[in-house]
Amino acid sequence: MKRVFSSHNLVLIHHSRNLLEAEGIETEVRNLVLSSAMGELPPAECQAEVWVVHDVDAPRAQALVRYGRDRQGPAWNCVACGELCEPQFTQCWKCGALRTPAPA
C-alpha cells in the first residue's frame, strides 16, 4: 500500500478517494479522526490520508489526484443504454449508469 494524498480538508480527501474509485483504483482512507490530536501531535502527522491498496496503481493514482480526469478526451457510450455522453461526465445523463473505468 502507498499513500497518494493527504490533507486536513476532509472534503478533498473524500473527493480524491471518489475520483480514484471511479477509475477502478482500490483505496483506503486513514487518519480521519486524528485531527482531534493536533497539538499533542505535530499537525503534519494529523492529516487524513488516501492510500492505494495495490502499489502498482500508485503512479496513476497520484497523476489523477494531481491533474484530475482528462476532460478533453473522447465522448463515451453508456454500456447500459448506448447514449453518447461527454467526457467530463462519470454517469449517463439518460439512465444514470456509471461510466466504466478507463483502461490502465
With vertex at residue 52, the alpha carbon angle to CA 50 and CA 56, rounded to the nearest 5 degrees, is 150
User: Which comes out higher in pLDDT, residue 73 or 90?
Assistant: 90
What does the pLDDT read at residue 49? 94
pLDDT surpasses 60 at 31: yes
**3-class secondary-structure state, position 101:** coil
Check pLDDT > 90 for residue 37. no
Closest CA to 68 of 30, 102, 31, 26: 102
Instruction: Kindly list the structural domains of the chain, giving each domain's residue range(s) and its CATH number in brackets, ordered by start.
Output: 2-67 (3.30.70), 69-104 (2.30.30)
Average pLDDT over residues 80-102: 86
Mean pLDDT score across all residues of the chain: 87
